[in-house]
Amino acid sequence: MNNIKLFLTDVDGVLTDGSMYYTESGDEFKRFHTYDGMAFELLRKAGIKTGIITSENTQIVARRAAKMKADYLYQGKRDGGKLAAAEQICTEMGITLAQVAYIGDDINCLELLKAVGLPACPANARAAIKKIPHIILLETHGGDGAVREFAEWILGQ
């Protein structure tokens, strides 16, 4: 087992396929995969705290985080806000960024991915993300269980 104490994920492009669906009345929909919900449960059972850090700010994400029993939820984090949120959680937990696993897919995740001990990205992440040294390039696309694949990798399953 590795030294990971905290598992963090982005939302759009990681927990979802990155698509945003809108109705005529302006309602927004996101598609989440059940495999990723189980990933949070497996990590929790292994004693690893979980969290979501996203640029978006929606009730959809708040409801999904609650359903998955995420320990931390930070929404609306832009311009370095993702790294600052992760640092705040680390301080609260008494750990370092080296003990954090994070999965992200786009340039707004770049700073945090470069800072954590275990970075990963879905197969369909942007090219700049795939070029990060030592990043784990997963086989699964965002929204199709990429978080589950990463969790299983961490847990050695």
What is the CATH topology of the domain spanning 6-155?
A: Rossmann fold (3.40.50)
Query: Is the pLDDT score of 10 beyond 90?
Result: yes
pTM here?
A: 0.95
Residues written for the chain: 157
Domain ranges of the chain: 6-155
12 annotated as a binding-site residue: yes
- Specify the range with the lowest mean pLDDT, choosing from 18-22, 65-69, 71-75, 128-132: 18-22
105 annotated as a binding-site residue: yes
Q: At what angle do helices 34-45 and 146-155 cross, to 10 degrees?
A: 20
Q: How crowded is residue 111: how many other Cβ atoms within 10 Å of its Cβ?
A: 16
